[in-house]
Structure 1
Amino acid sequence: MISARLRREIRSLYGACCGYCGVCEEDVGSALTLDHFQPVASQGQDTRENLVYCCFACNAFKGDYWPDDPNLRLESDGYLTALTPAGERQIHLLHLNRPPLIRQRFRAQERRLERRTHQELRRELEQMEHRLQRLERLFPFDDEGESSL
């Protein structure tokens, strides 16, 4: 039996998003499920290291499959590419390139890029403000814009 505390910990660890396809609770409008990466049928345990927060669809598609080496790469268009035969099996079994997931991953990448760009612009603005403050200390001006030097 998985404790409520461990469920919360796993949910937090995965940021409330599916560990397989990346869809988040806010995308589906409800909590996701827990999956045993190594299935109980294959002696998988109820441990933090073996539990994956995942959406219902991925949990159902995965079933008792136990991927030994998924090796996937997320492309810029949201498509997942397998790097190994095990990755190909995982993509196929979990239907990881179904159109709604590709769109969701693409939108998520766009949001991350927007946040990163916003953060970079904010840092540049802060640096410019610091430079301006240093210049104002070096070359003071009065309220009329006249140099007081």
Structure 2
Amino acid sequence: MDRPYLNKELRRLVANRADYLCEYCLIQEEDTVLGCTVDHIISIKHGGSSNEDNLAYCCVFCNRFKGSNIGSILWETKEFVRFYNPRWDNWGQHFKINDFRIESITSIGEVTARILGFNDQPRLLERQILISKKRYPSPLALKRINL
């Protein structure tokens, strides 16, 4: 399967729309060593497209962990639950920031946080450092949380 080509204008639109924040974990692009990239929310292999309604801006860590997955099993109920979708969902309805952890509020939040590794040790440490420097959550991230 060929990788879809995303031109500079489309990449810029996605980045600007996200305020240069990862739309999953809300880290600012300038605060993550490897930067951010454009993610297909629903991967091409699952029938997703490369139009702006199916693209999200995300940090390399969220993108790597998400891969082409679209959801996961919620083990308590043994049900398949889709991931948080930045085009459909409000971040603050599925997650909350508690100290330096991103806690889930819903089952969508739970499977997303688990698979994307929001609270893996290196990411907690990164967030703890950013919080101590008053860089997380940024004012733009707070705006997204409270939409």
Corresponding position of 1:17 = 21
Deviates more, 1:32-41 or 1:93-102: 93-102
The equivalent position to 2:51 in structure 1, one of 47, 54, 72, is 47
The structure where helix makes up a greater share of residues is 1
Secondary structure of the residue that 1:75 maps to in structure 2? Answer: strand
C-alpha RMSD of matched pairs (Å): 2.3
Corresponding position of 2:101 = 79
The equivalent position to 1:64 in structure 2, one of 65, 68, 88, is 68
Partner Cα separation in structure 2 for residue 84 and residue 11 of structure 1: 27
CA deviations over 1:127-148 (Å, ceiling 9, x no partner): xxxxxxxxxxxxxxxxxxxxxx
Counterparts of 1:1-149 in structure 2 under 5 Å?
1-29=5-33, 31-67=35-71, 68=82, 70=84, 72-102=94-124, 105=127, 107=131, 108-109=135-136, 112=139
Q: TM-score, normalised by structure 1?
A: 0.64
Deviates more, 1:72-81 or 1:15-24: 72-81
Q: TM-score, normalised by structure 2?
A: 0.64
Q: Is the 8 A contact 2:27 2:137 kept in 1?
A: no
* Alpha carbons of structure 1 residues 79 and 72: separation in structure 2 relative to 1, 3 Å: farther
CA deviations over 1:5-25 (Å, ceiling 9, x no partner): 000111111111211112222
**Gap regions ≥5 residues in structure 1:** 113-149
The structure where strand makes up a greater share of residues is 2
Partner Cα separation in structure 1 for residue 35 and residue 22 of structure 2: 10
**Gap regions ≥5 residues in structure 2:** 72-81, 85-92, 140-147
Give the number of equivalent residue pairs. 112
